[in-house]
A and B are shown apart, each in its own frame.
Chain A
Amino acid sequence: MPEVRLVNLTKKFGNITALENINLQIHDKEYFSLLGPSGCGKTTLLRLIAGLIEPTSGEIYIENRRVDKIPPEDREIGFVFQTFALFPHMTVWENVLYGPTVKNFNLRKAKTIGDEVLEMVKLHERLGAYPAELSGGMMQRTAVARALAAGAKTLLLDEPLGQLDAKVRNEIRYEIRKMAKDLGLTAIHVTHDQSEAMSISDRIAVIKKGKVVQVGTPQELYMNPQSLFVAHFIGESNFVEGFITSTEGEDLEIELRGGSKVHAICKGPSMGERIILAIRPEVFTIDRGFIQKDNSLSGKVEKVTFEGTFIRYVIRLKNQDFVVTIKPSLAEAWMDVGSEVTVSFAPEKTHIFPYPQAGLMEEISV
């Protein structure tokens, strides 16, 4: 049974359409992310679910109850703000107890809840501190504790890790997911960071310019992007132009610029259709020199970048297209700039998309 359901949700600000016809179903106890570039509407969507803004049209259901006309204080949601919004005139303890206090919970019960959540976020020693005395990470944990203590079953998080430094971010994100799972909450997490979304979500909705582009598990999105935008936004992709020269069922022959022919496996495209081939960097194998191999292209290494775990090669193919490939830095001998190489790939590990009318750059732009 879906916990949160959005039906034909639209939000306009004057002439600007921020969200258009959003239809989503988020399941009970699911950790769900809204992922997209800045300005795509994901925060607007979250605030609509919270009740901080009202929709222009459409319906919002939380636990099968229609809530779009109900104010935020009656929706029983918890909200973690990007800026934390901790009350500066209250201590950590008072901030955390604010929800129970204002909803007239029994005092002893409220104190027990407060103790529990503060234990969970490991802030029990800083009970009496004021927000101005806390570090970024501590403030964030207080904000989460405060939202949890209010007792809601649905937790909404608006870029909760945005203000933290990288190392802290990577640790805390797992803690938040664990807390949500331990408490059996449904969580909706807004972020622009795709690796963050991928590492902690059960499912992700990718949003572009106010529309949902694809919904799926992290694996589905990575392995089966349904659009150029998703192929580009999630992970990395090389894009190569070409057109279909022969089809044999799902086995396609594609002619690239300059005449080279490669194969790919895909259902759908027809003869003569202009397409874009999307290949992830790690799919390529790279061999020194020019060798004859199935599905291969020759070129020269233009740039080599050491990235710690990986070496990144930028290769200029014979037809002047660029591809990027990455290899584990400790596994093989490195290539030098200027070496002649052959790159090859398995035909089933690619994706094919029709060439977009507006042009490639426009299609994948944020």
Chain B
Amino acid sequence: MTTRGFRRSFFNVLNKLSSKKAVKYTVYASAVVVFFVLILLPPIFGIVIKWGEIQQVFDQPQLMGRALTAIGNSFVIALAVSALDLVAGIPMAWLITRSKSRWMGVLDTLADIPFVVPTAALGYSLLLFWNSSEGISSLFGGSLISTGWLLIMLLHFAFSFPVVVRVMVGALLDYKMEYERASRTLGAVPFVAFRTVTSPILKPSFIAAFILAFARSLSETGATFIVAGAFENGPVFLQNVKNSFSAGLVSQATYEGATVFASVILIVVSCIMFGVIRFLGPRMKLPFKGIWPSTERKLSYAKAATSRNMMTLGVFVIIVLVPSLFVALPAFQAVFTSTIPDALSGSGIWGSYWQSLLLSYALGAIVTILGFITGLPMAISIARKKLGASKSALLDILVNIPLIVPSIALGVSLSFFWKQSFPFMPEMLLLIFAHLSITYPYFVKSMSAAFERISLDMEEAARTLGAKPFSVFSSIVLPLTKYSILSGAIMVFTRSVSETGATVAVVTSLRTAPVVIVEWVKGTVPANSLEIGLGAGILVLLSFLILFLLRLVTRGKGRY
């Protein structure tokens, strides 16, 4: 048989199978089963297994107090940062979508940078910029911002900024200008039109952006650990406890108890906040009652707009862009010293660096492929309600859970479960499961949104023309959603490469690239600033390459 003939009969088999109701149901049902068995239930069971150890925390009031303070800090910071991100990100998105300048495409790409750079490198970069003598502090003699909550806020603001901008740009591009034009013809000046017409219509996107920024801030571990100093938020507390346990300063029972305690509270309060924001948010009315004609008129036109744009760009450049890229300075400096040849030869600490890089990218690739295979049928079931409308809505909500659970809590509970049930499980497999859990929602959400955008008419037309379900998928749905699938894959890949907290929680011997950077910065592994700079710089450079690859491939299409 020729290859063509072989491919054709392979397709025929797939087609025949896809027509059978039983096969279709099995595929979708198994995707759901995989989701529950591999992703949703293990963390829950992990916590249940170690529940008894919580008593340890109640027995140590000082520890409990410390845990509660840390958790409280997490939520306060997350709320504040998310609100600030909205305030700064919306004008930025407005500028990108409404401005006629050619530079806006460039601005759009630049705004993505903190998202693509692995957070550990980002954390180090910010540390250098704000805190060390080589950064902005040199202008003030002595470090400008010391490690602690302010630095954490600056960090979280920076890495959530692109998320908010991306969501808002997508929403503004979809928004029908007709509404605003109508309000203008009725006499509303632009600022009033925005406040009373555009904002309420875009409110769901505001909420979605807020939730994403909030979840990210609660969850991030590696970079936060770098800039936290003595301050503790939830993830930092968990990290500190783990380190204390590794150093033999606390018992295993205390470690497990504290971890379960903090994780459970973090998870439960996150879920509650998430629910509250999701359900109360749409009911919240933005202030409309008053109209202040002269003030709002002034705010609408040329001078106000220009100064608003200047401020937006200023904030972006000074607080987000430059600090994120600052690590390029020592990296650049390293080029002129012996650091480069050492790095390239793999001597000293560089040996494990390259290994970790390899591990990170291999892991990213594996997780992306697995995520695609397990997530695709799930996305279809949700988008096309294959398992019934109410079940699909429930799945849609459940899929969000790994997103809002802090990654270190997720990692810890996962390791409790798997190590208890399968003590001989290889660490690599554990790592894959952890990363799969964390990245799964990204894939499923972006793919299901893309599938929903394909009009059902199109699939029905194909079926009336004689195409079996598998053909419909491969010849109609897939070509029309390939950009979203690709950008979803790249998002998953970069997220996996960046992930620190869960990695640290789950494995002891394997080190991914961000873990190595954190070790170097914290001094667990001695490295001088040039080496750290170069190490972080290489990571950043590779991320840029991926970003440009993404831009090249999607070329503005598939902004999902």
Contacts and interface: CB of A to CB of B under 8 A. Distances in A.
Interface of A: 50-52, 71-74, 76-79, 81, 83, 85-89, 98-99, 102-104, 146-147, 150, 156
Contact of A83 (B457, B463, B467, B480): B457
Interface stretch (B219-227, B359-367, B471-479, B521-529): B471-479
A6 to B, nearest CB: 18
B471 A102 contact: yes
Contacts of B465: 73, 78, 98-99, 102, 146-147, 150
Contact of A98 (B8, B19, B462, B468): B462
Contact of B466 (A86, A87, A88, A99): A99
Contacts of A71: 19, 463
B461 interface: yes
B152 to A, nearest CB: 46
B455 A73 contact: no
A208 to B, nearest CB: 26
B476 A87 contact: yes
Interface of B: 8, 12, 19, 455, 457-458, 460-468, 471, 475-476, 479-480
B12 to A, nearest CB: 8
A23 to B, nearest CB: 24
Nearest to B464: A79
Given A73-B19, A87-B458, A102-B471, A78 B480 contact: no
B463 A85 contact: no
A137 B479 CA distance: 26
A89 B457 contact: no
A156 B465 CA distance: 12
A72 B460 contact: yes
B466 A85 contact: no
B460 A73 contact: no
Binding site secondary structure of chain B: helix
A71 to B, nearest CB: 6
B476 A78 contact: no
A79 B461 contact: yes
Contact of B467 (A50, A88, A102): A102
Nearest to A53: B460
Given A102-B465, A146-B465, A85 B480 contact: no
8 contacts: A51-B463, A74-B19, A74-B466, A88-B480, A99-B466, A102-B467, A102-B468, A103-B466
Contacts, number: 69
Contacts of A74: 19, 466
Contacts of A147: 464-465
A102 B475 contact: yes
A86 B460 CA distance: 11
A72 B464 contact: yes
B150 to A, nearest CB: 50
Contact of A73 (B8, B468, B476): B468
Contacts of B471: 102
B458 A85 contact: yes
A243 to B, nearest CB: 52
A33 B458 CA distance: 24
Contacts of A99: 465-466
A308 to B, nearest CB: 35
Contacts of A87: 458, 461-462, 476
Question: In the complex, which of the residues B8, B458, B466, B479 has the most CB atoms of chain A within 10 Å of its own CB atom?
Answer: B466
Contacts of B462: 87, 98, 102
Nearest to A101: B475
B401 to A, nearest CB: 30
Contact of B464 (A52, A83, A104): A52
Nearest to B465: A99
A150 B455 CA distance: 21
Question: In the complex, which of the residues B455, B463, B471 has the most CB atoms of chain A within 10 Å of its own CB atom?
Answer: B463
A73 to B, nearest CB: 5
Contacts of B457: 81, 83, 85
A270 B284 CA distance: 66
Given A72-B460, A89-B479, A146-B465, A83 B455 contact: yes
> What are the 6 tightest A-B residue pairs by CB atom distance, in nearest-first order?
A79-B464, A85-B457, A85-B461, A99-B465, A102-B467, A103-B466
A147 B476 CA distance: 16
A306 B466 CA distance: 51
Contacts of B479: 89
Given A81-B461, A87-B462, 12 more contacts: A50-B464, A71-B19, A77-B464, A78-B465, A85-B455, A85-B457, A99-B465, A102-B466, A102-B468, A102-B475, A146-B461, A146-B465
B463 A72 contact: yes
B38 to A, nearest CB: 32
A86 to B, nearest CB: 8
B79 to A, nearest CB: 41
Contacts of B460: 52, 72, 79, 81, 85
Nearest to B460: A52
A156 B461 CA distance: 12
Contacts of B476: 87
Nearest to A47: B460
A150 B466 contact: yes
Contacts of B464: 50-52, 72-73, 77-79, 147, 150, 156
B362 to A, nearest CB: 34
B466 to A, nearest CB: 4
A99 B461 CA distance: 10
A303 B12 CA distance: 69
B169 to A, nearest CB: 23
Contacts of B12: 104
A153 to B, nearest CB: 13
Contacts of A76: 466
A67 to B, nearest CB: 13
A50 B467 CA distance: 14
A9 B457 CA distance: 24
Nearest to B11: A104
A311 to B, nearest CB: 40
Nearest to B454: A88
Contacts of A85: 455, 457-458, 460-461
Contacts of B480: 88-89
B461 A73 contact: no
A89 B482 CA distance: 12
B22 to A, nearest CB: 13
A229 B180 CA distance: 44
